[in-house]
Amino acid sequence: MMKIVVFALAGWFGLVAVWLLISPLGFYTTVPGVADSGPLNLHFARDVGLAFLVSAVALFVGAQQGNRSLSVLGAGFPVLHGVLHLAEWLAHGGHAHRSLVSELSGTLLPGLLALGAALALSATKGEIVQ
């Protein structure tokens, strides 16, 4: 069951990555709240796309091979991305450009789901797990 969750989140992060890499302007203008965060920086948007791509691949390969450590590593960027969004929302007094529900559901929740599902994967033989 956890493999399916990890595969699904890897697919979601992969779609986000492809969208950011192919059409950063489309992402910027379509996703609610993104345009409110400041002017579009194409280079930065593609950097974020590459980070999501690496995360998606690590999550997918980790789940496919039963390598929990690799999947947990793949969840790292999405979790930290979500924590950053939450911290910025709090730093702006909780009334930034997006609501807390948007911040939690759009950034932090997918990362936490990926991390939780990755941690719940069974470790492969020979993988060191404590």
Please give the C-alpha separations between residue 124 and each of 1, 54, 58, 70, 117, in angstroms, as whole numbers: 16, 21, 15, 11, 15
Under the banding of pLDDT at 50, 70 and 90, the label for residue 43 is very high
* C-alpha 112: how far from chain center: 9
pLDDT tens, position by position, 53-95: 999 999 999 999 999 999 999 999 999 999 998 888 888 777 6
Residue keyed to tokens 């996703």: 31
CA angle 52, 90, 95 (to 5 degrees): 105
- Are the CB atoms for 75 and 59 separated by under 8 Å? yes
- In sequence order, what are the residues at sequence separation of 6 or more whose Cβ sits closer than 8 angstroms to the Cβ of residue 96? 88, 89
pLDDT band at 34; cut points 50, 70, 90: confident
Name the CA radius of gyration of the chain, rounded.
15
Query: Confidence class of residue 128 from pLDDT cuts 50, 70 and 90?
Result: low
pTM of the full predicted structure? 0.87
Q: Tell me: pLDDT of 112 over 70.
A: yes
Does 129 have pLDDT greater than 80? no
**28 φ, ψ (degrees, to nearest 5):** -60, -40
Task: Quote the pLDDT of residue 115.
Answer: 96
* Average per-residue pLDDT for the chain: 89
